[in-house]
Chains A and B, each alone.
Chain A
């Protein structure tokens, strides 16, 4: 079978034990990791901000708020550009495996950020 549980998986009493949640994130180390990942992104990315918090299920999460150049946020381009950026950040940061955080990616354009500045995106 192809999707088997890896060696780190733990089972007991017919229930899977969850991984120990990361209560504290080493902010400096995470900053370094995100900075390194950002440097590999293309010119379509204007800024990457992130916050640590809980998603609507209460699970520790990392929320990336990515400001994109306007040309990347058109109907024809948005899907490719945003998908590429999310995949690059996901693959390099490995938020679940290395940080115990569920990743979420949201995008807005530079013009939207200028029109309606939002500190969460800075």
Chain B
């Protein structure tokens, strides 16, 4: 099982822990974010011919740039995606929004103890990550998705 798949399974295990405790909820949200983070890196580096070096290439990915890119593709002024399949565009935007959302949620889960984390809120976040895992395989070969993956690594460039 790939590392990202293990992390996603781990998040789902934690979120279903009974009785729920806030510590498990927070760890579940954190694991869900990292599952998606590593999924994106895994998929993005698959085109690197030298398979043995893909994990090294993966070290080049930066949380901040990945989030900035995810927000860029949500902005129709910058990425109008004209003449693209609207269903693919919608799915890509859901994934990009989901990544940005999960990164913010992870930050809350790991650091912000000023407010509690509800089981429902945590479940929605973990299920958002799971949805990304289910949706991405359906569109990952589309050119706009491959462009998105490329821009996760390349700062401030268009394709």
Contact = CB atoms under 8 A, between A and B. Distances in A.
Which applies to chain B's interface (DSSP): helix, strand, loop or mixed?
helix
A83 B118 CA distance: 18
28 contacts: A2-B81, A2-B83, A2-B143, A2-B144, A3-B73, A3-B159, A5-B79, A6-B77, A6-B78, A6-B79, A6-B80, A16-B156, A56-B104, A57-B67, A68-B120, A73-B123, A75-B127, A79-B124, A83-B128, A87-B90, A87-B94, A97-B75, A102-B71, A105-B101, A107-B120, A109-B118, A109-B120, A112-B121
Given A2-B143, A2-B144, A56-B107, A112 B118 contact: yes
Given A3-B158, A79-B127, A116-B116, A97 B77 contact: yes
Contact of B115 (A16, A82, A105, A118): A118
A12 to B, nearest CB: 11
Interface string A1-45: 111111011000001100100000000000000000000000000
Interface of A: 1-6, 8-9, 15-16, 19, 55-57, 59, 68, 73, 75, 78-79, 82-83, 86-87, 90, 94, 96-97, 102-109, 112, 116, 118, 120
A102 B74 CA distance: 9
Given A3-B158, A87-B94, A104 B101 contact: yes
Interface of B: 64, 67, 71, 73-81, 83-84, 90, 94, 97, 100-101, 104-105, 107-108, 115-116, 118-121, 123-124, 127-128, 130-131, 143-144, 147-148, 156, 158-159
A94 B115 CA distance: 28
* Residue of B81, B120, B156 contacting most chain A CB atoms (<10 Å): B120
The prevalent SS among residues of A at the interface is: mixed
A78 B127 contact: yes
> Which of B67, B90, B94, B158: most chain A Cβ within 10 A?
B158
A83 B94 contact: yes
